[in-house]
A and B are shown apart, each in its own frame.
Chain A
Amino acid sequence: SQQGEEDPQALSIQEGENATMNCSYKTSINNLQWYRQNSGRGLVHLILIRSNEREKHSGRLRVTLDTSKKSSSLLITASRAADTASYFCATDSPTGGSYIPTFGRGTSLIVHP
């Protein structure tokens, strides 16, 4: 079962614009992670935000977490053509006594030069 769902499914913007992707989840979480996947490659970890944190920054990336709304957002500022990729959120939620990361379907981002 998929815990997180990203929105929108696809996003197309011009270079220099900001890109915002959202993730909603259903059950309580330990943490939430954002990953990036270039076409035909594996996923690369971007940011992990713990359930007691509200905001985190890494370079041009900003992640927020609202546990009351069970949602998170990933903001990429001043986007570049090289940011073109799929972005996934994953939550560490309890599964049969373990905390197994479960992924959403992803947001496909295209940044036009």
Chain B
Amino acid sequence: DGGITQSPKYLFRKEGQNVTLSCEQNLNHDAMYWYRQDPGQGLRLIYYSQIVNDFQKGDIAEGYSVSREKKESFPLTVTSAQKNPTAFYLCASKADRDSVYSNQPQHFGDGTRLSIL
């Protein structure tokens, strides 16, 4: 079955440590996204990528980094510069690039819950 796989489901970070969240999709989608979800605040966009080897900052990119070396993979690194990383992280993909002609929904993974040790 096609879909998006996020791993791990739960992750713990020690102070000063960088951690990487995995996101893999086998839907052959062009666009991929990372969102952060905190209680009561909905989803906030961290980074997005419309095409391989290209990505853009979202609303809350500080303290995070991404790469898009392969179409199916969009890993997110939470760096030590992110002082409040505890949250639920969601990865999504969409069939085509974002444009005025795009009318495709996003597909989401099941998330990674990151906590501080």
Contact = CB atoms under 8 A, between A and B. Distances in A.
B48 interface: yes
Contacts of B111: 40-42
B103 A43 contact: no
Contacts of A88: 42-43
A44 interface: yes
B100 A99 contact: yes
A105 B42 CA distance: 4
Given A41-B111, A45-B106, A1 B59 contact: yes
A69 B6 CA distance: 38
Interface in B62-107: 88, 90, 92, 94, 97-100, 102-107
Interface residues of A, number: 28
Contact of A43 (B45, B58, B100, B106): B106
A69 B61 CA distance: 32
B103 A50 contact: yes
A105 B108 contact: no
A33 B105 contact: yes
A68 interface: no
Contact of A101 (B40, B88, B97, B106): B106
B15 to A, nearest CB: 26
A25 B15 CA distance: 39
A11 interface: no
Nearest to A9: B40
A42 B4 CA distance: 10
Contact of B43 (A44, A92, A103): A103
A58 interface: no
A40 B33 CA distance: 19
Interface of B: 4, 6, 33, 35, 40-45, 48, 50, 56, 58-59, 88, 90, 92, 94, 97-100, 102-111, 113
